[in-house]
Amino acid sequence: MPEVNDDSIKALYIQNSELISTKGIQLKNLEVLKLYCNTHLRSIQNIVSCTHLKELYLDDNPKLDISPLEQMVSLTKLKLDTCQDIWPIQNLIGLQTLDLCCNTITDINTIIKLVNLSDLTITLSWQIKLLQQQNNINIDPLNKLLNLKSLSLKMNWLKNIQSLQQLINLTSLDLSSNQLQNIWTLRYLTNLKELDLSYNKDLCTITSLSELIKLITLDLHHCQIHSIYSLRTLKGLENLDISKNNIIDVFPLEHLIKLKKLNLCNNQIINYQSFQRIIWQQYEQKVRCCNIEYMQVWGDNRKFQLVKKSKSQR
């Protein structure tokens, strides 16, 4: 590539190029570098000289040698995909955000030393998911990352999440598209505000969620849940998706006084009249859900949809 040596440049994006190496980049003050979809890119060795580099995004560069990463100790944010081995990042102790999406990683012991991480994403390659190949990732090393606040482990074929029990500082957790049946560990994560358990098709029981009273957003769609009785204690919930389950009784929802968005589609609800009473009788004291702005309910040839209500209707 042509030489780029303007020291005033702090951010550089290179996407869909024929770039083979970053040899021409000589930017001492570069802070952000994004290299997207450069299918011929093999070397980023000279980027090591960018000692002020804070954020590095390496998306879909399948031929790339990532070994120079071990020298980039100034990094605080790194996105890295299409990898099988992540050993070069093991000493990047300044990392606060690490995105390992679309990989085939099975061993994450490398990240044990990254104790300053607050945001971590580890997601299975969609090709493996499509082929129904199990990745068998061991997430036990995560119990050392006590500063984590946001964690995404979607699409990893997980069956056991016991090792997450120590991550009490988590405020956001995505465990969607796994194989979870037992989620009792989650009762210890009492600082959670956002939780996604959708597409765990063997998940039937959610009693352990009753203690997560700080939850604001909860996604449980496409599971096998029968009862939502345990949700009645989550009075701070504003967004709830429980569509595509086997739920019969929705009466516990009357306790969720802050609900704004609700999705109940494709369940087995048998008492719509009592539910409509909770929503529409806005002038009776027993009404609880009068803050709802958007709701979808359909199934068994019964449909109704509620959109945001005007002040005159409240």
Nearest to 170 by CA among 179, 178, 161, 160: 161
- In terms of average pLDDT, the best of 42-51, 144-153, 286-295 is 144-153
Cβ pair 251, 270 in contact under 8 A: no
The answer to whether position 53 is within a domain reads no
- Indicate whether 155 pLDDT > 70: yes
- In terms of average pLDDT, the best of 44-58, 97-111, 270-284, 288-302 is 44-58
Give residue 281's pLDDT: 42
**Terminal-residue alpha carbon distance, the chain:** 62
Q: Provide the pLDDT confidence category of residue 134 given band limits of 50, 70 and 90.
A: low
- In terms of average pLDDT, the best of 6-20, 45-59, 160-174, 252-266 is 160-174
Give residue 31's pLDDT: 96
Structural element, H or E, at residue 226: none
Phi and psi angles of residue 273, each rounded to the nearest 5 degrees, phi first: -60, -45
Cβ pair 296, 305 in contact under 8 A: yes
The answer to whether position 156 is within a domain reads no
- Indicate whether 313 pLDDT > 50: no
Mean pLDDT of the 108-136 span: 77
Q: Determine if the pTM surpasses 0.75.
A: yes
The answer to whether position 291 is within a domain reads yes
State whether residue 64 is helix, strand or coil: coil
| Ramachandran region, residue 19 (left: φ > 0; alpha: ψ -120 to 50; beta: rest) | beta
The answer to whether position 185 is within a domain reads yes
Tens of pLDDT, residue by residue over 236-285, are 999 999 999 999 888 888 888 888 898 988 898 876 665 665 555 433 33
Tens of pLDDT, residue by residue over 164-222, are 999 999 999 999 999 999 999 999 999 999 999 999 999 999 999 999 999 999 999 99
Share of the chain above pLDDT 70, in %: 82
Type of residue found at 230: S
The answer to whether position 91 is within a domain reads no
The Cα 58–Cα 74 span in angstroms is 16
The Cα 254–Cα 15 span in angstroms is 50
Q: Provide the pLDDT confidence category of residue 1 given band limits of 50, 70 and 90.
A: low
For residue 142, give both structure tokens. Answer: 């995560």
CA angle 193, 198, 204 (to 5 degrees): 105
The answer to whether position 47 is within a domain reads no
Pairing between strand 119-124 and 77-80? unpaired
Q: How many domains does the chain have?
A: 1
- CATH code of residue 277: 3.80.10.10
The answer to whether position 255 is within a domain reads yes
Give residue 137's pLDDT: 84
Structural element, H or E, at residue 275: helix 272-280
- Indicate whether 133 pLDDT > 60: no
DSSP code string of 143-171? GG-TT--EEE--SS-----GGGGG-TT-S
- Indicate whether 305 pLDDT > 70: no
**Beta partners for residue 241, in sequence order:** 219, 263
The answer to whether position 169 is within a domain reads no
List the domain range (segments joined by +) for residue 234.
180-314
Pairing between strand 97-103 and 119-124? parallel
